[in-house]
A = this chain, B = another copy of it.
Amino acid sequence: MLEQLKQQVYAANMALPAHGLVTYTWGNVSGIDRKRGAVVIKPSGVPYAQLQPADMVVVDLAGNVLEGRFRPSSDTPTHLELYRCYLQLGGIVHTHSTHATAWAQAGRAIPALGTTHADYFAGDIPCTRGLTAAEVMGDYELETGRVIVETLDENEPLHTPGVVVYQHGPFSWGRSPDEAVHNAVVLEEVAKMAWISCGINPDLRHLDAHLMEKHFSRKHGPNAYYGQQ
């Protein structure tokens, strides 16, 4: 079942090491078929070099395995919570990419400092609060999804297509698995740039509001004029 989506999710997973975002098995991509309510996700702990499209695991939105000989990623409950809350999402990515994770460990939102950031994110990339001991000892991966939703609050998730989870690492998403990977690459790159900028000028100010609005709307607004349509 879902052969095309499995192929897409497989290709998106393989794009993570190709973009230098993962070491060993530290990342996963999922995609969803909304009509069937079925999510395709990477199996847990299988090395990328051995991964095949047929290894992708299919689960329903409650987490029941529908198909697959492997166990799904241990982060599956986080993905499912986001799919349940945000119907506009088609793909989700989790990595431990170096610079984004460094911001997560620092407990700081990645500030919007330039147009590179504003082309994709309509504001800072938030850092979640820390989970409580009860949340961590309870249904940890589900609580991770919940704290992401709590952090996004009233924000449109496609305008804030990623966050860093406190002391953990980045999650990103998009309308498809491919777009979610694209946003993971952007998140890592703007995390690196922001680190360097803050080192050069510790008194750094945020991106001017009119530049933020211009760049984000140039690509994402109703009058977008970047690209070919």
Q: Which residues of A contact B (CB under 8 A)?
A: 23-24, 26, 43-46, 70-71, 74, 96, 98-99, 101-108, 113-116, 130-133, 136-137, 140, 167-169, 182, 185-186, 189, 192-201, 204-205, 207-211, 214, 218, 225-228
Contacts and interface: CB of A to CB of B under 8 A. Distances in A.
Contact of A204 (B45, B70, B105): B105
Nearest to A140: B214
Given A200-B108, A200-B195, A228-B43, A113 B167 contact: yes
Nearest to A71: B228
The count of identical subunits is: 4
B101 A105 contact: no
A115 B168 contact: yes
13 contacts: A23-B185, A23-B186, A23-B189, A45-B226, A46-B228, A74-B218, A101-B193, A107-B204, A114-B168, A114-B169, A115-B168, A131-B210, A137-B210
